[in-house]
Structure 1
């Protein structure tokens, strides 16, 4: 039997009647610019509006601040959607506010997943919902992942309730060398993609190396069919993009080109490059290509062989978004090791744990725990609070949102998880999750167990009839 809408979804629907604060009227929409060199600044702006919260304090918990700090028997205070105070047991707590006892529990920033396809490969996983790969040409820089997102994907609520995920980047798939723009979302119920869109977050550009592009297009008898073909098409595309960017910068009149606008924005540092790439040699080639054309890869995703070139990644300021132990499922993933994450971390390179999976996103704390354990078994003893940076400030920095979230610092968004034990334990689950200070998940309150209106009934996911 299909579930009825949850209170949060109903609230989202009701909030939409009046429209979110700050939403543009139709008369303010960007004018058409056909034939002009001017790109609309933001033709699909965020209309995100935080759910209202109440002033809240958590005391007595062990706090990981997301930047490597730890406070035992700590206190954190949330009000007006922000973190207002954080400190030890003597931190003042105002009277007449909601206070939660965190004794024996842990508090962390909300988990941030830098690599997700929720919404553009939603549940149920049927062909009608397969909207992540525009696999019609090796270069599809003109498409935007946000235009495929279905906000009612049940995966969003599962990621919140089971994994404490409060923000996530949605990327196009990896069939193409240039897959298109990514978008960053707040993990809240909303009627539209714009209502989830993280305010002020930059777009990303999804690129891909290796087997996927050459297999997809080589099988169609077209370029690229080899890794050298991959690089050749990449370079030829960047040459065109550089020419377009120079003309645009000079104010020369030219017709709009959606793909070239995206790539020109990359060259001007407005869009961040997120590159699917497994093998060390290919990552090195892409780093060189970035130097040739004047852009930098923000993060290599999957990066199964990152441990082989961890110093190169460190020296070039490139993050690695990694799995704990997912490898060996195809040739370019064959040379993976369980110690990849801790080895990259030990080298001083930016290290991130990511999912790329609608189940994995619900267990990113366990994915990080597997990597942490593998490191300790080989003598790399990384403290728990340092390892939490892999799920918090590091992905936030690589997504361009670290000034707003990713750590428990005064003035940042109150995106907070209270775990019922050490979050690196297999037995630990979120107890409560706040986004912008609003309590959106509470394991003790059936009305705050968010479930999509299209959710398939599961034990523990609400009332199943």
Structure 2
């Protein structure tokens, strides 16, 4: 009977990332912890061997190659360098005068969950039924037909993280997607990418539930101190939940009841679910660093982080990323101390700097957002080579999402997520001319046949067109 119960509970412990002994002599670490009832069904589009030649290549990890080439085969980067030879039958792209980079990864987007057209019926990014909604998964709100995905593709976006909104202390799970046309979100899910957890501090959660609304007495924050108490209460419950499952799976006690909210939080405590934290002010980020140490989880990235420059040394020491805008500031009090040099100052302190969008418009030109931050740093005396700054758009966001071993740089064996630019991508005049995802040409600015159109954009026939 115990073995049957253990078998029944295995899927739960896998979802928790908290498996104990399996009852058959296996140790805790012997049991795989990857479990997803909504697994990725992503399959790369067909591709042909391709050699891109004569370009200025930014490899995404800090290198620049003049007159460089990138060889793509089987959906992977095969070689990067000079004087590469195309295999027989390969497509050759002469990129003389052009630049080649890894695809851009936006690690903060709400496409699909707040799709276009932006009407109330499409607003599925925030579950405001309570301040702790770790049980919801944003992928269950993502509409693959959002035209924003194809607009982002035209801007060189090859992967992106979709997050719930910031109304909640714990907003739910995020999802990492490949930016390809698909019928379901599962067909877009980045294979092997960890789940993420969206948390929020500051004005948003206290604004949604406080300020006299009183809809959630006894459980809703009205202040920043209420926010922190809410985090701690939830983490205490999750710690207890995880311990009960560990004990049961070690062969002791009764099987605990399953709790979707606590499953997500326990998975974050275990490190299998990556925490992404909406947070503006330096003092609040410092509090969250201490909070994470109290409960033993890790913040993968602070988002927006307009005051990250004030504690860049602490962020570097802790080992977290900051996902930031180039120049958004002052639109609310917690954004008032934002400065244009934030991103280069964080980078210069040795911390992980990322340029993100949080916008269906900004995602279309993230290369220009990075260029603004780079030039602001240069004017302030922080002279970062462009090939190093490109890490803000590819390798660093990949690190924050736990996919840096698969994408984010042009290295042999990695996914062939590649963009050919008409000019230096830090120029306002540069355009993404070709975008490859897993080696497949998904967008070509000069070929309308390779410019995806979403079903919703096709519209309906007029009355005069009906027969």
Q: 1:4-153 counterparts in 2 under 5 A?
A: 38-39=13-14, 41-88=35-82, 90-153=83-146
Per the alignment, residue 169 of structure 1 pairs with: 161
> Are 1:204 and 2:206 counterparts?
no
Secondary structure of 1:324's partner? coil
Contact 2:71/2:84 (CA < 8 Å) preserved in 1? no
Q: 2:10, 2:162 → 1: CA distance? A: 31
Residues 226-252 of structure 1 show CA distances to partners (whole Å, capped at 9, x for unaligned) of 000000011011000100111111225
Aligned pairs, how many? 425
The answer to whether residue 230 in structure 2 is matched with residue 241 in structure 1 is no
Q: Which residue of the partner structure matches residue 158 of structure 1? A: 151
Q: Are 1:250 and 2:252 matched, yes or no? A: no
Provide Cα deviations, 1:12-42, integer angstroms capped at 9, x if missing partner.
Answer: xxxxxxxxxxxxxxxxxxx995898545521
Moved more, 36-45 or 146-155: 36-45
For 1:454, what is the secondary structure of its paired residue? Answer: helix
- Tell me, which stretches of 5 or more residues in structure 1 are unaligned? 1-30, 458-465
Give the conservation status (yes or no) of the 8 Å contact 2:105–2:394. yes
Q: How much does 1:392 deviate? A: 0.6
1:296 matched to which residue of 2? Answer: 298
Tell me whether 1:213 sits opposite 2:205 in the alignment.
Answer: yes
Alignment of 1:329-408 (within 5 A): 329-408=331-410
Aligned mate of 1:185, from 177, 181, 192: 177
Once structures 1 and 2 are overlaid, which stretch shifts more, 251-260 or 397-406?
251-260
Determine helix, strand or coil for the equivalent of 2:457.
coil
- CA apart distance, 1:175: 0.2
Whole-Å Cα distance in 2 between the matches of residues 91 and 114 of structure 1?
Answer: 33
8 Å contact kept, 1:65–1:408? yes
Partner secondary structure for residue 124 of structure 2: coil
Instruction: Work out the CA distance in 2 between the residues paired with 1:69 and 1:257.
Output: 47
Distance 1:232 1:134 in 2: 20
For the residue of structure 1 that corresponds to 2:171, the secondary structure is strand
SS in 2 for 1:394: helix
Matched, 1:273 2:267: no
Work out the CA distance in 2 between the residues paired with 1:256 and 1:149: 25
1:32–1:367: structure 2 CA closer, same or farther, 3 Å change rule?
A: farther
Aligned to 1:462: none
**Map of 1:28 onto structure 2:** none
SS of match in other structure, 2:187: coil
d(CA) in 1 for partners of 2:11 and 2:137?
21
Q: Which runs of 5+ in 2 are unaligned?
A: 1-5, 16-34, 460-467
Match of 2:23 in 1: none
Over residues 203-256 of structure 1, what are the superposed CA-to-partner deviations in whole Å (9 max), with x where a residue is unaligned? 000000000000100032242010000000110110001001111112251111
Please give the per-residue CA displacement for 1:229-284, whole angstroms capped at 9, x wherever unaligned.
00001101100010011111122511110010000001111000000000000000
8 Å contact kept, 1:36–1:256: no
How far did 1:370 drift?
A: 0.3
Q: Match of 1:53, SS? A: coil
Residue 399 of structure 1: how far off its partner (Å): 0.1
- State the partner residue of 1:24: none
Kindly provide the CA deviation profile for residues 120-145 of structure 1, in whole angstroms up to 9, marking residues without a partner as x. Answer: 00000000000000011000000000
- Name the SS of the counterpart of 1:181 in structure 2: strand
